[in-house]
Amino acid sequence: MGGSKRIMEKFLMRESLDVSVSMARFANVAFSDGSLLHGFNQRLMKRQPLSAPNDVERYFVTPQESGELCMMSAIFGENLDIFFPHQEGELELTKFSDIAIRFLESHGYEPVECETEDEARSRAEELIPKRQWPVYFFASDTTGEKAYEEFFMGDEKLDMESFQGIGVIKNQPDFDSGALERFEQKISEIKGSPAPWDKKEIVEAYLGLLPELSHEEKGKYLDSRM
């Protein structure tokens, strides 16, 4: 679970003292704006190579499944319940590189793996007319990519029995009002500054509220590869 979602939940915990709040965690929504598959669609239309890490796994839900999970949380959730996808055994995690291969095959293209980004770019014009598509897979070296998906922390109280295919985290209000106020003030200062936003300041604000959050800045981002 990402830092932004955890911060949002902290603010909702504060609100839960005045109004009943229930939530959902559903990982990656396939083909939603900004998602990996949405990016693949954009590259397909532009006839550009696909690139993806081969050591990062994710769990995907459809837009319908994400909507159903939110609705279940709204209808059946008690205050501060968090609903998340659950099945017997391990959730089916899929490597980003495998998703790229399945995506291309579903569109009638044979993936052709290249050794470098430059090779993938240079071969696009040659391969695509032959119903082949250049791909470049790499070990993850981009900021913000977890190796696997987490729906709950080890110390959270879980209900895995009430619903089929859905787990529920049973929360109690757990937040630091002072830390939330300091975070709000810092973000307001950054937004109100005439200078360009400083990512380092934003990260420090996040870590001030979530000191357990790990962030390794690598200077590279998945959506900027190729």
Environment class of 118 (CB within 10 Å of its CB; exposed 0-12, middle 13-18, buried 19+):
exposed
**What's the structural domain count of the chain?**
1
Domain-located, residue 102: yes
Write out the residue range of the structural domain in which residue 135 sits: 16-174
Q: Does residue 207 belong to any structural domain of this protein?
A: no
Beta-bridge mates of residue 75? none
Confidence of residue 59 (pLDDT cuts 50, 70, 90): confident
pTM, two decimal places: 0.75
Q: Would 39 be classed as within a structural domain?
A: yes
Judge whether 181 lies within some domain: no
User: In this structure, which amino acid lies at residue 183?
Assistant: F
Which pLDDT does position 155 carry in this prediction? 75
Tens digit of pLDDT for each residue in 118-158?
999 999 999 999 999 999 999 976 554 455 456 776 678 99
The DSSP-derived string for 157-221 is: EEEEEEETTEEEEE------HHHHHHHHHHHHHHHH-SSPP-HHHHHHHHHHH-TT------S--
Residue 93, pLDDT score: 82
d(CA 216, CA 219): 9
Neighbours of 18 (CB within 10 A): 7
State the CATH number of the domain containing residue 49. Answer: 3.90.25.40
Residue 78 is assigned to a structural domain of this protein: yes
Upper half-sphere CA count for residue 94 (Cβ side, 13 Å): 17
Closest-CA residue to 52 (of 144, 117, 148, 7): 117
Own/partner long-range contacts of 173-182 (Cβ < 8 Å, ≥24 apart): 173/13, 173/14, 173/16, 173/17, 173/80, 174/13, 175/10, 175/11, 175/13, 175/14, 176/209, 177/14, 179/208, 179/209, 180/10, 180/11, 180/14, 180/209, 182/208, 182/209
* Residue that is written with structure tokens 């669609």 in the block: 41
226 pLDDT more than 80: no
Three-state DSSP class for residue 56: coil
Question: Is 35 within the bounds of a domain?
Answer: yes
For residue 54, being part of any structural domain is answered with yes
DSSP, collapsed to helix, strand or coil, labels residue 100 as: helix
pLDDT for 90 equals 58
pLDDT band for position 23 (50/70/90)? very high
Tell me if 6 is assigned to some domain.
Answer: no
| Measured distance CA(91)–CA(182) in Å, rounded | 37
